[in-house]
A and B are shown apart, each in its own frame.
Chain A
Amino acid sequence: MVLLSVLINTGVLAQSTNHQIAGTIKDTKGQPLVGVNIQLKGTTTGTTSDANGKFLLNVPAIPCILTFSYVGYLRQEQTVGSGMLNVILADDPKNLNDVVVVGYGTQKRKDVTGSIVTVDPQRLDSSLPNNNIAQAMEGAVPGLTVTQSSGGAEGSASIMIRGQRSISASNSPLIILDGIPYNGNLTDITPSDIGSIEVLKDASAAAIYGSRGSNGVIIVTTKKGKSGAPLISFNESYGIDKLSDIPPVLSPQAFYAYKMVRNPGAITPSEQAIYNAGTWTDWEKLATQTGARDQSTISVSGGGDNVKYFTSLNYVDAKGVAVNDNFKRLSSTTTLDINITKWLTFGSSTRLTFDDRSGLPASLTGDYSAFTFNPLTTPYQPNSKTLTVYPWPEDTYYANPLAPTLVDNTNYQYQIYSTNYLEVKLPVKGLSYRINTGVTHSDQNDNSYYGSGTKTGFEDQGEINETADVVNSYTIENLLNYNRTFGKSSIFFTGLYSYEDDITTGTALVATGFPNDVLTIYQANVALHSSNAAAYSKATLLSQMARLNYSYDSRYLVTLTARRDGSSDFGPDNKYGTFPSVALAWNITNEKFMQGINGIDNLKLRLSYGSNGNQAIPPYSTFAQLGQSSYVNGTVTAPGYIPTTLANPLLHWETTNTLNAGIDFGILKDRIQGSVDLYSAQTHDLLLSRTISSVNGISSIYQNIGKTANKGIDIGINTVNVKNQNFSWTSNITFTLNRNKIVDLYGTGKSDTANNWFIGHPINVNFGYKYLGVWQTTDNLASSPQPNTQAGYAKVADLNHDGQIDGPDRTILGSALQPSFTYGFANTFRYKSLSLYAFIQGVQGITELNTTLSDNVNTDVEKNTYVKNYWTPTNPTNDYYANARLLASPIYQPNIYNVGIYQNASYMRVKDLLLSYDFASETIKKLKMRKLTVFLEARDLFTITPFKGFDPELSSASSIPILTKEFLVGVNVGL
């Protein structure tokens, strides 16, 4: 039998009449595909398509079968005869032969045992010119929530995977950039430089990162070059930002009336004069503007057989919605992959960034916020464009909200982020050694001079404020990899030994008392008073890890991992923690009994159990620190110190054990693909900043106590709803449900009211008195649990019916950070060359404090306040209590318990609408272009929410809790 086949084979080869097959390969949009792998089935004969999608292949005989494969597209086989061949490859939303980055290496997706999600490449495509990676991932990864925390020119966001696990340690996932842990800001990574993002969600996937992996891991890899002619891309976008849904404040006339009711004696002559003359000021208009963002990127990638490169240059020029909020960035990324010899590979990825944040924005928050500034004040000197130092002459506490625009501020930051690796293929087959190194250096200088035109400068006779911060990080990783296949079994072993060092140093100078403003920051040596400060912080991490992947016939997969981490943050006897994990997976579709079933294209079951650690307490938390509190002896400083922290030498790793069961599926020829994960995570030895009795002198201490549990379900589904010649519609749906609760605190089963931690409830809850409405004249005021109640007072629930409003009447009022569920729904519609991408995101079941429902104007009504439906005898509403009036006796105080009003803050938001048009390749070929796309985009277009306060998504700690809508237009060119 063997002899016969050999004869037949040689017979076939002996014929050897060369036939040439020529053809073009395009995608469903008609764009040529470069670098497609074309092979004569069953042989090694093959070629790749060129820059125009064309190929030529010599085959021994026709007809023959050619296979076409390309990352991101469904593999095709075609029987080919003579004549020109036109092949169209269809998109593959989830290619199982894709290689997935799993941490310290890659695996084929079908071999993965953990819960890993790849962010849809379209989200990273340069036609979605996102502000930062967090925006690119929003709603695209089930279980991942992104909270925008600032609306400024630069913008920032925080990410959480599968809910909050830790109470006081960080809940941010670990970010790995090009193999090295990345401690910088997400906003510093240009999305168009990114080749792939993988999110590792369960313990097994994250286990290789042991410590810091308990919040999940996000692996970001920069684009790499590909062999072939250089590909040039140019992207340009321009967008405008507008503040929207600003809660209204009282009009100047209404403000005057409000003040006359609340405290008529507090009206000052200057306010009265402005009111009489009608010359009031719209501060919001003066301090805000339409923001703008201009972003350009140019990149080149290419390579030969042994060298591949990718380099890009990116420029951002942004103006925020606050006047004088400017941000400029120039950055470059270069990646090189070089095969020095057959057994030695070198790779490098270097990013250089320069940020210019000069200029202080007008005040939009705090006491000087332009939104709530007293409208009966004067912004400019009479008949001039010079700003007033004191817009309200009778109250010199209030500075001009526009004063920051006068500050001479320069703020520059230089950053280098460079990772380099050397990989050696060792003489033993399948064994390789790799050394990864990473270096980060960041240098930021922020210098301000406050001159006599500002309140600070006027009162201090000029003020210099300088800070210099330097951050250095070094990482060295030694990896040993062993990769072998023995028959049906294959083994993949990884061993790691790594060292990481993070050092932060900073200096600050404050100097006041100058003869004039001429020299600005260059006159610190003649200051009447100056003080310097220096800061230093260093953290070190030393780790060992071993991982073994075993797969039998690509059907049964096992992964075993163990990691041991030592951190300098912990006490001398507790530096190390060990984190093991095990994962199993079963590729059901590869089983013989599944071969006959046509409807199911992919079915995989996964089960994992493992532990991860979290150590994000600040360095030096095990020391009992003294803080500076100095005195004077005459005119001489008498340095003094007082105890400020309590030491806990027993601090150790916070650990999370997670059980994850998942199923990956693909049905109906992969028209519906998805995964469902169920998980249960138990965290113990939580690192808590625990509030203790103030009788101890210091009210808080870090301890390892308590247990929390997170249980939930992540669902992610991709569907191809409609697909025909000219029109297609695909959807991506994500749904996450996470239930977080505190299981135990101090071992006694009791809750801790002082910290708002209650057994059986989420970590983060709102706790306080419950607001029921307003006491009406028709109510039985004498029965009120609040003494001396009058009509118009806030009604507070007396939950224990004891006739008093006190401690036991406080209750849990929902949570702002633990939703019932979150969801994302993305749709892509394509009609010929036009495509529309729409993304909706929603959060359901959160309750937030409505901060606009409080007065916060001070006794003398110094600030404006938000429009409220106040109770009056003729307007007996339950919305809000009466405007506090001044009566001689008894004193009228509608809200002595300071009860806050909490409201449902669930929301659904149309986060993204993107309309883009791809010019057909024939049209643009004349311009020598490979690709030309123009697009229009609208972000955060509208929101549906019952919440009546500030934007429900922006955290209340955000600098500007008002949403900005963004409208962009742009073009992507490929050459």
Chain B
Amino acid sequence: MSGATHAASHDDAHGHDSHHEPGFFRKYVWSHDHKMIGRQFLLTTLFMLFVGGALALIVRWQLAYPDTRIPVLGSILEAMYGEGKGVAGGDVYNMAFTMHASVMIFLVVIPMLIGAFGNFCIPLMIGARDMAFPFLNALSYWLMWPALVIFSASFVIGGGPETAPGAGWTSYPPLSYLGGQGQTLWCLGVILVGASSVMGAVNYITTIVTMRAPGMRMFRMPLTVWAMFITSVLSLLATPVLSSAMLMLTMDRLWGSSFFIPAGLSQGLDVTTNPFAFASGGGNVVLYQHLFWFYSHPAVYIMILPAMGIVSDILATFSRKPIFGYRPMVYSISGIAGLGFIVWGHHMFQSGMNPALGMTFMLSTMMIALPSAIKTFNWLATLWRGTIQFTVPMCFALAFVSMFVIGGLSGIFMAATPVDAHIHDTYFIVAHIHYVLFGGSLMGAFAGIYYWFPKMFGRHMNYKLGYVHFWLTLVSFNMTFFLMHVVGLHGMHRRTQNPFTKYVYIDGMLPLNKAMTHGAILLGCTQLLLLGNVLWSIFKGRKAEQNPWNANTLEWSAAPTPTPHGNFGPSLPTVYRGPYEYSSPEVEEDWLPQNRDLTATAGAK
């Protein structure tokens, strides 16, 4: 009901559009328009991708050429920390991998998939004129900026790498309790990003539930929208738990509140001068891990489900075939989300909690592989007997399927508790997470960028460059991360800046580490092609038609390019069918848009 009123008031406003064309700032910066906010999220996160990537290369360089000065990036480190810090010694190294993960997770993958594509696609795909709460939407973007500033400040606040956050993105106390001031800023940054996520989630859920166009039943929504919907529910329920954990950690650090600090640890402090010496302990270190993973495991699904949705849409569009098993797809998204809340303990098999509890988590973890398997089989069946068009977005979507299978299967090793005892905290885990979050989430995001760019910016990207970007990414990605399985099984543990000198059995893995680093450098440089392509195409790309892919969903079939404020002209589209009616026998062409009224066309003829 409220959706309808909202739409009506928009219609009125729309009629007067020509009278008040917004100024530059209103239009591009302080915009409440979901499309502009989506673009803002996309460009910001694309930039942050390079910050995160540079941090990863610091880590990789150290592992291939231990204790030598890092080319190029070393000068940045020296500018930040002073002479001699261009080498990733203990503190610089710990800072680098901590911030690499934090930036990639909190400032790249989550805001790119959910902030950029969620914002841009949801109203267009369900036939709404904007989000339910446009101001809240803008606020969720602008909360990213204080987080970004705070994260940046955490690098340099104490003047050296030793005060930067260096306890890993998991920031387990007591190590994080001991860290420098940067650690406090890190906690605050995570709280802000969390607030931003929750605002987005509330908005998406309300919009999807109340503002769908006439005829857009829940089971006629594209899978991208379904994925965003379920993801938002996950995000809404899980993020507050992370924020609480961060707040508790901050309070422990600043005021000695003893949530996570066990007895005995503050007794080294001098009572006469240090107020913290009165913190009596009694806190529980494992409690933090429970709280942290209660969010952070669902967070993995928050990062992969939207990509799964995007990939489903793209696979159907370019196979010219309905998605195979639409309802099983929806149910498996929901199944992943539901099970996602009861598997967090698999990060803690070796933490000292009761092994019997570990067995329970092992079973739920094994089971969560099932909906992922169902989705993979459905994707394959969607390709089966299709007419596959190898466009750039399709290539990335196919890479998603292929890489996600590897990431999913390696998860079974970890789910098996006795095997986890060996591979936990080794490079096997690093390989797994990157196959899921880069091979999965980022490949999906790249597919989404190439797919929706014509709608977002009214121009095509350069697809020749796109194919080069695709092949180089695929090859260098596997060169970097596949080898990590090998060194991980051989027992090379992670988060170590120079394990080669102390451990002879790891020393033999140095050549493999060099190969990985070369892959990583190629992978990082390759992404410059994407950035260049995006920036160039925004201004110089070939002008896009309304529906270049002949897609069925409303953003292509009903919304003009470039899309005006209010999205759909004077009246909202009416939806007559599901989103995947490709190659339908009802029409001659191989696509049948959701909003095409077949009875009306027949009448006109």
B and A form one assembly = no
